Structure 1
Amino acid sequence: MTSEPNPSIPRLDAPRLNRQVCFAMYSASRAATAAYRPMLDDLGLTYPQYLVMLVLWEEQPRSVRELGEELGLDSGTLSPLLKRLEALGLVERRRSVEDERRVEVFLTDAGAALSAEAGRLPQQLADAAGLSPAELDQLRDTLGRLTAALHSSR
């Protein structure tokens, strides 16, 4: 005679939520986004808008296609973001003179000036996390390797 397992007693062989890398990454991502929210509110940006601006602060102009590839966003997601950034007066979209099918995104003077204010955000996040710059660099590098490995394994 076999007895039915008691549902109130945890199974020792069951996967544990707190042992899952996926949940740790999910939780960390949500916490980081929440930590950024008040800082970005001061800049008048949402987190996805901030990511677009980061790419443009590195190099501009960038085509809409290049932005999508860099950020891993499709045009259905990216186009409304760019439209809102344009309405805020931070970017300008223009058709390429070499290829009219290509839309290039440029920073406005206001968008370029915002980079100076945004420059303090990484340190503010490090302070909020209680991690040293070296620890954050190591974490970023580890997550980058993880992302690359998971993309290449598909």
Structure 2
Amino acid sequence: LEEGRMDVGLGFLTRHSPNLRYERLCTDEFALIVAQNHPWVNRRVVDFSELHQQRLLQLPDTFVMRRMTDEICRKHQVRPHVIAEINAIETLLRSLGPSQAGTLMPKIALRGRENLKLRAIRLRGKNLGLDIGLLRLSDSAANTAVAAFTTLAKATVPKMIKQ
């Protein structure tokens, strides 16, 4: 957006840039994603502190989602044992079973991936929620394409998160 290659974006609202305007559409929360063979697969809730030294697969820190989870870990004084960094979400999720590790991602990451038979375990801790919404340049003028995308996103994204 800030490089001028697009007019509007849909993503996590980190609110780090003063040049962007953020519009929240819905919220999600980080969860511990595990495969069916993970020792914790039947747990309903995991205290965030229990993730200390637990085996995790993570995205590289070039991903905003990774930087968000690193910040949450710092705030909870948790240092998980990151056994690998994988730079594609689909590949990372497919690697959870063979590695018997978990990962920290928003629950929306499992949307459309029911065939992977993964489970999102609720985490108990502070500031685990994240806002999802629209991002635009602060001084951007509205045009018909942006207006149409905004209308579609407002109608669709909250429904996707709730499913």
Q: Tell me which interval the TM-score lies in, with the shorter structure as reference length.
A: under 0.3
What's the TM-score, normalizing by structure 2?
Answer: 0.25
Query: In proportion to residue count, which structure has more strand?
Result: 2
**Looking at CA atoms only, which structure, 1 or 2, has the larger radius of gyration?**
1
Report the structure, 1 or 2, having the larger helix content. Answer: 1
